[in-house]
Structure 1
Amino acid sequence: MCLRPTPPPPVPADTAHVARSAFPRGNLLLGLRDGLGPVFHDRRFGRLFPTKGQPAEAPWRLALVTLLQFAEGLSDRRAADAVRSRVDWKYLLGLPLADAGFDSTVLSEFRSRLVAGGAEELLLGAVLDVAAAHRLLRAGGRQRTDSTHVLAAVRAMNRAECAHETLRHALEVLALAAPEWLLERALPHWGTAYGPRAFDDRLPKSAAKRTAWVRTVGEDGHHLLAAVSAAGTPDWLARLPAAGMLRRVWIQQFYLSDGEVRWRTKEEGIPPAARFISSPCDPDAHYARKSSRSWIGYKAHLTETCDDGLPRIVTCVQTTAGPTADGDVTTPTHRALRGKGLLPAQHIVDTGYLDAGLLVETRRDFGVDLVGPPRPDPRWRAEAGKGFAMEGFAIHWDTRRAVCPMGVRSSGWTPSVDTRGTAVVKVKFSARDCRACIHRADCAGPKAKQRLMTLRTRDEYAALQTARQRQRTPDFRGLYGLRAGVEATISQAVRGFGLRRSRYFGRAKTHLQHVATAAAMNPSRLVCWIAGDPLAPTRRSNLGRLIHAQGAA
């Protein structure tokens, strides 16, 4: 299909008349078209379509329909039916009443073009441009970020179930792709063993029987991999995605020892969660754990504005693997905001999104003030509160010396690199000076002969100390209190738009879902703001209102 860009047409008179009659008090979609216009234009999607071929359905309409179906949780077929049957949709899309719409498969094809072209951000970018044109969005203000877990579109499986399902999937694919080849190499028990799905409650209960069952699965998978890789086997069989997935899972789950296939344990080495395949259906979905919550899937990170006198607009969406630390998203978020021309002056985050290095990098590379509570000093000296924490030492960077609370100067200063590859400075005090000190046990430790310290680099150390001091001020508490508002946005995205459950396999398509969700949330917020609807206050229980009223009296 080719694209011949045309400007969005005005709303047909018959559509406008019926829509106004059906919704005399207005409607969100009518207000969206009247207040913000068509939002999208064909030229924005020009690079996704060839210049020759059959004309494609107008991309600006498909983009709007995509946002509407995510806003209302509709399937492709129901969304296509809504285009044909709902007058408010026709009003927004500028369609005449008799327009028959399009086939539902067009929506899937449009999403595939977005993912293949890495153009998911076009959906959100167009809404942000409209907000900026109406002077409801600007750079240099305040923004805030938080994340939530996202469940992948796969069922959670333990290691044994995952191995069985991977082998079963490979056999299913080969049964269709090369049935005669598979029949010649299949073992007699494969039909009954790998026909039904594996569920933990159907597996052998005793440890001995389960071990034997797992060993059989491993041997069967190894037998199939050997057959696929054998001489004379067509090369295209080994290149099948199912065969590649089987090979990856078997490397992670099993190993060969003395010619036997054995089950991997911690002693033989199991890959970390960030690389471990939890399901053959979605290799991008990984096991993750945060506090008491565990899941298989992803994380969605939402960034929104929080300036006084302006609406709350989601400006950036990041989709990461579940085990990815929040701090690994801080810099990519700033890069994305800089690319959009929307870098804030202050970025309010929780502890997970900042550390000493990020405090320096954010200020140096982006000119952004990263606001949040830094991690406290975890060492036992800080918890003891006797004045011998690292903050109690005077650090003289120019002379490369540290002075302890008792006035003793350090004897060693050595730049180094820690186990994570971070540049640090190792400082030590003389054992002779420490032995003579009456506070040696509280400072160096009950059995230590001398005090040893590991400092971050000069800029990082200063940034961390400044952040900890700032955290104790009343101004910080008032500013950091704004961060809680992003949790309401995440709640809206989860409860109203299904953000926490992926509709698709793979991180790329899941990211498209998250971007489309954010792009669908913003127009409704903009329409309400233009209409003069105030931001809703935090809801209180009846008991809370009663006690608050009594206290005010």
Structure 2
Amino acid sequence: MLSEFRARLIDKQAEHRLLESMLTLFQQKGWLKARGRQRTDSTHVLAKIRALNRVLCVWETMRAALNSLAVVAPEWLRAHSHPEWVERYGPRSEDSRSPVGEAERVAFAEEIGEQGRELLDAVYDPMAPQWLRHIPAVNVLRQVWVQNYQRVDDVVRWRSSEQIPPPSRYIGSPYDEESHYSKKRSTTWVGYKVHLTESCETHLPLLITHVATTSAPVSDDAMTATIHAELDRKHLLPTKHIVDTGYVDAKLLVESQRDYQIDLVGPTRKNYHWQATLHTGFDVSHFPIDWERQQATCPQGCTSTSWTPAIDNRKNEVIKIKFSTKDCQACPSRSLCTQSSRHTRRTVTIRPQEQYRALMQRREQEGTQAFAQVYAKRAGIEGTLSQGVRMMGLRRSRYIGEAKTHFQHVATAAALNVVRSMAWFDGLPRAQTRRSAFVRLYDVP
């Protein structure tokens, strides 16, 4: 009954009622207010599947397709498979049963590829029943084979790692096509990512206002605008939205203020050009920009000769400003601008005017005490994630697929709100950040 109830909620996209009905009540009671401060952070979520390498993935995908066909089309499969396949595809795929050595593993994968092609050719034969092509496991088999193999002179060949799709599109398991591989610093996982947004007013309970579930490779900054739009729909937009660097971008700084009157509070990505990191050269801040004339002036007083709009490798709009080769070659400060032996003139890349000014302004603010005091509130969301992980298993999906995993996250958020509101009603103090014994030893009296 619970499974059917969950399926109905997901089918009607009604799972948000679990949380939104609660938020409406909190607003009516005055325990949750718009135009305050909120904060957002994300954490990784493990899918309810095994993490498979590429060889195990194609092996298990073939096995899954055979098992599915054995149920829905047993007589057809008996006529289009081989008895010797039972030994390979009967037990589940395991690294312990695969060859050792790169060349041997590639040959093993190509042998599986040939057998999978034989099965797919039989399925897509004009004489085969049309409905076989619509079996989900067969469709997954076809996609996995396209991603991992190519036909060369009518022979199935294993693709190199450079030839496969990016993680956001690569199917890593036949049992959950929507879970993908991702890496954040030293953490690697296959699954999803959950974003929690909560209120953080000192005199009110800390309540989760929004939950978003995404595929693991989706970046945090891709969700900032979506979170703002959803909070606007709920009439819960904050004045200050406190986030970490992952949610901040020059374009988002401008759009958040322009579209929702939100101050997106978070540090920007550092300028990793050597001139800025070593503090021994002229970074972009040393070049005054004349936006009307579309020119920049270098620290030696020379003006740029080229102003070209472009798109960078993160798909951001930028402007590439170049200086004269003649001016740069004769410049006594050339070593402070470029260390390249190939490029004899300086090129400066900046964002469009509004974004550039917002970025420069934020970088100035980051060094102030006022910014540090506001940003210090962000740390509290990590406690929320920790509470969700330790009390309610937030970091492990109980279901297959993104929609069901999101249902789990919404239910978890609603449960956390119940726990937190009850603690607030009972007057329980909020937990403080734990410090180690060694840190406490050196606390200043």
Same topology, TM > 0.5? yes
How many equivalent residue pairs? Answer: 444
Offset, 1:436 = 2.6
Is 2:268–2:363's contact at 8 Å kept on the other side of the alignment?
A: yes
Question: How far apart, in 2, do the equivalents of 1:210 and 1:446 lie?
Answer: 43
Offset, 1:421 = 4.0
- Stretch deviating more after TM superposition (323-332 or 415-424): 415-424
Question: How far apart, in 2, do the equivalents of 1:232 and 1:479 lie?
Answer: 69
Question: How far apart, in 2, do the equivalents of 1:316 and 1:409 lie?
Answer: 49
1:319 to 209, 213, 228: 213
List alignment gaps of at least 5 residues for structure 1.
1-105
Distance 1:211 1:411, change over 3 A: closer
- Stretch deviating more after TM superposition (324-333 or 438-447): 438-447
1:520 to 399, 403, 415: 415
Is 2:309–2:320's contact at 8 Å kept on the other side of the alignment?
A: yes
TM, length-normalised to structure 1:
0.78
Distance 1:183 1:446, change over 3 A: closer
2:347 to 452, 473, 486: 452
* Pair 1:415-2:309 in alignment: yes
Question: How far apart, in 1, do the equivalents of 2:309 and 2:113 lie?
Answer: 49
Distance 1:215 1:543, change over 3 A: closer
Question: How far apart, in 2, do the equivalents of 1:507 and 1:165 lie?
Answer: 21
* Pair 1:440-2:334 in alignment: yes
* Pair 1:114-2:9 in alignment: yes
2:33 to 116, 126, 138: 138
**CA deviation map 1:75-116 (0-9, x unaligned):** xxxxxxxxxxxxxxxxxxxxxxxxxxxxxxx21111101111
Question: How far apart, in 1, do the equivalents of 2:83 and 2:271 lie?
Answer: 62
Offset, 1:243 = 0.7
Question: How far apart, in 1, do the equivalents of 2:296 and 2:436 lie?
Answer: 54
Question: How far apart, in 1, do the equivalents of 2:313 and 2:217 lie?
Answer: 20
1:289 to 183, 203, 209: 183
* Pair 1:402-2:402 in alignment: no
* Pair 1:192-2:87 in alignment: yes
SS at match of 1:410: coil
* Other-structure match for 1:274: 168
1:329 to 223, 246, 250: 223
SS at match of 1:197: coil
TM, length-normalised to structure 2:
0.97
* Other-structure match for 1:531: 426
2:261 to 356, 367, 375: 367
Question: How far apart, in 1, do the equivalents of 2:57 and 2:442 lie?
Answer: 53
Offset, 1:420 = 4.5
- Stretch deviating more after TM superposition (207-216 or 539-548): 539-548
Offset, 1:249 = 0.6
Alignment of 1:28-427 (within 5 A): 106-266=1-161, 269-427=163-321
Is 1:440–1:446's contact at 8 Å kept on the other side of the alignment?
A: no
> What amino acid maps onto 1:536 in structure 2?
A
> What amino acid maps onto 2:22 in structure 1?
V
Offset, 1:119 = 1.5
Is 1:131–1:526's contact at 8 Å kept on the other side of the alignment?
A: no
> What amino acid maps onto 1:393 in structure 2?
F
Offset, 1:289 = 0.7
Distance 1:169 1:381, change over 3 A: same
Offset, 1:378 = 1.4
Question: How far apart, in 1, do the equivalents of 2:362 and 2:195 lie?
Answer: 23
Is 2:193–2:213's contact at 8 Å kept on the other side of the alignment?
A: yes
**CA deviation map 1:440-465 (0-9, x unaligned):** 12113353322111111000100100
**CA deviation map 1:396-418 (0-9, x unaligned):** 11222211122222222233333
1:487 to 382, 404, 409: 382
SS at match of 1:445: coil
- Stretch deviating more after TM superposition (318-327 or 201-210): 201-210
Offset, 1:544 = 4.0
SS at match of 1:539: coil
- Identical counterparts, % of pairs: 48
Offset, 1:542 = 4.3
Offset, 1:347 = 0.6
> RMSD across aligned C-alpha pairs, in angstroms?
1.4
**CA deviation map 1:8-31 (0-9, x unaligned):** xxxxxxxxxxxxxxxxxxxxxxxx
Is 2:281–2:336's contact at 8 Å kept on the other side of the alignment?
A: no
**CA deviation map 1:365-405 (0-9, x unaligned):** 11110011101111111123135100111111122221112
Question: How far apart, in 2, do the equivalents of 1:489 and 1:222 lie?
Answer: 49
List alignment gaps of at least 5 residues for structure 2.
none
**CA deviation map 1:193-232 (0-9, x unaligned):** 1100111122122444433321221111101101111112
